[in-house]
Amino acid sequence: MTDLLSPEHENRLATAPRGALQLAEITAFAVSVPLPDHAQVTLGVGRTIKRDAVVVRVRSADGLTGWGEAHHGRAPTAIAAMINDTLAEGLVSMDGGDVVALNRHMARALQLTQGSSGAAALAISGIDMALWDLRARAAGWPLCRLLGGAPKPIAAYAGGVALGWDDPEALAEEARGLVARGYRAIKQRIGDSPQRDLARLRALRDALGPEVAIMCDANSLYSPRDVRQVMTHLSDLGIRWLEEPFMPQESRRYADAARYATVPLAAGENLFSRQEFAQLIAAGSVTEIQPDLSKAGGITEGLRIAGMALAHGLDVHPHASMTALNAAATLHFLSAIEGGGWLEADVSRFNPLRDALVSGAPEIGADGCFRAGDAPGLGVEVDEDFIREHPSIPGSAYRRD
C-alpha cells in the first residue's frame, strides 16, 4: 500500500492531469547592473556599486509565462544554479496551478541537503512567485483578485537602497524631493553611530515636519547600549519604528529592548519560513512584521505568515527593495491580506531593475499610495532583452571605503 505522505504519492498528486496548467520550463537568470558614482549609496554593509537580482521564468505547455524574483542572497549565480540545477527538472510536467503542493514539493526536495532556510528559501520563493503570476495570468485576473482581494490604495514609504549615511543637509534635500513626489513616509538608514544617526533623523524631522512618517533601519548594527542611547530620542522625534537593531536570531536582545522601547521594533526581512516567523511572533518583542516574498518562501508562505500575524493583532509591512517584480507581487499581496501595512517602495537614484527590467509597474499617486492594476498576474511585463544584456557581474555588490 502506498504511503500517503511519501514523495511518490505527492508527485502523483502534483503531476499535471489532462487540461491542467502543465509546466514545461523553469529557468532562473542571474542579472547585474553596475551603478554610476552618483547613484551609489553608503549603508552599513558598504557603498553600493552594483545591483544584483535573480529573475525566474516559468512556462506552461500551452505557452503561458509567469515571472518571479528570488532574492539574490549576495550570491546570485548560486541561487540561480540551485533553481536551474536542483529544482527545475523536478517540476517539469507538474500542475503549475497547484502552487501549494509545488511549494511543499520544493521544500522536501531541498530539505535533506539545504534545509528549509537560507538559500533554499530564496530559490523556492522565486519559483513560487512566478507560479502565482502564471496561475493568475491563466485565470485572466490580477493576482490580488486571485488571492481574494482587489486593487486598492496601499500606502507606501520611500525605502530601498536610498537615504543612506549622507550629510544631514543632503538627506533633508533628498527627503523633501521624495515628499514632493507624493511620499508621506520615508525610511532612513542608521547604524553609523548613535550621534550621527540622530543628527540625520533630526534633520529629516526639521525638514519634513510632523505630518510625514519616518522609520529607521539599523541593519542589525546596533548594540543594546546603542539602542538604550537612542530610544528616548527616537520617541521624541516621532519615529514610527526602529527596524532590525540586532540580528534576527538575537531573540534575547530583542526581548530586553522591548522592555524599555518607546517606539515599536520591526524585523523579519531576514527570516525565511513560517516556522521562523512563528518564533518571532510568539516572542512578542517585535510588533512590526516584515517578511520579504522573495526570501520567505514566496507568496504561498507569505500568506501563512500574514495569517499568523493577523491572529496576534500585528500588521505586516513586507520588505521589498530589489526589482519591480517583487514590488509588484508585494503590492498585490498587500491588496489581498487583512492587516496589511505599508509597501516599501525602492526610491534609489538609479535602478534599472526597477525602471527598465519591466514595463507597466504602478507609480505612486498624489495620496502617497500605490494601486495594483487590473492586468492579469503581477501586472508587469518583463523585457527579456534586458536580462540577456545584463548578465551577472562577479564580486560583491558593496565596497568598503
Check whether residue 61 and residue 205 sit in a common domain: no
- The per-residue pLDDT for 16 is 67
Domain assignment present for residue 1? The answer is no
Do the domain assignments include residue 2?
no
Residue 93 lies in a domain: yes
Residues 20 and 44 in one domain: yes
Residue 290 covered by a domain: yes
CATH number at residue 11: 3.30.390.10
Q: Are residues 46 and 95 in the same domain?
A: yes
Domain assignment present for 25: yes
Domain membership of residue 399 (yes or no) is no
* Alpha carbon distances (Å) from 359 to 143, 332, 352, 354, 384: 17, 16, 11, 9, 11
pLDDT score for 70: 98
Q: Are residues 103 and 185 in the same domain?
A: no
Q: Given the DSSP bridges, would you call strands 288-289 and 315-316 parallel, antiparallel or unpaired?
A: parallel
Q: Which domain CATH number covers 333?
A: 3.20.20.120
Contacts of 105 (CB under 8 A, 6+ apart): 10, 11, 14, 90, 91, 94
SS3 345: strand
Give the C-alpha separation, 340 to 324, whole Å: 19
User: Dihedrals φ, ψ of 181, to 5°?
Assistant: -80, -10
Same domain assignment for residues 152 and 132: no
- Asked which of 81, 110, 141 is the last residue of a domain, the reply is 141
- Is 263 inside a domain boundary? yes
Co-location of 154 and 121 in the same domain = no
State whether 246 and 129 are in the same domain: no
Asked if residue 207 belongs to a domain, the reply is: yes
> What is the predicted pLDDT for the residue at 400?
86
Same domain for 51 and 122?
A: yes
Do both 131 and 154 map to the same domain?
A: no
Instruction: Profile the chain (401 residues) by mean pLDDT over runs of 10 residues.
Output: 40 60 98 94 89 98 97 96 96 97 93 77 98 98 98 96 93 97 97 98 98 97 98 98 95 97 97 94 97 97 98 96 94 97 95 96 96 97 98 93 73
**Given 3-state DSSP classes, what are the helix, strand and coil percentages for the chain, each rounded to the nearest 5?**
40, 20, 40
Quickly tell me which residue has 528549509 as its cell.
116
3-class DSSP state for residue 12? helix
Query: Which of 141, 172, 198 is a domain's end point?
Result: 141
Same domain, 37 and 158: no
Both 91 and 165 in a single domain? no
Residues 152 and 290 in one domain: yes
| Boundary residue ending a domain (141, 157, 173) | 141
Domain total for the chain?
Answer: 2
The answer to whether 196 and 222 have CB atoms below 8 angstroms apart is: no
Q: Which domain holds residue 45?
A: 7-141
Task: Report if pTM > 0.75.
Answer: yes
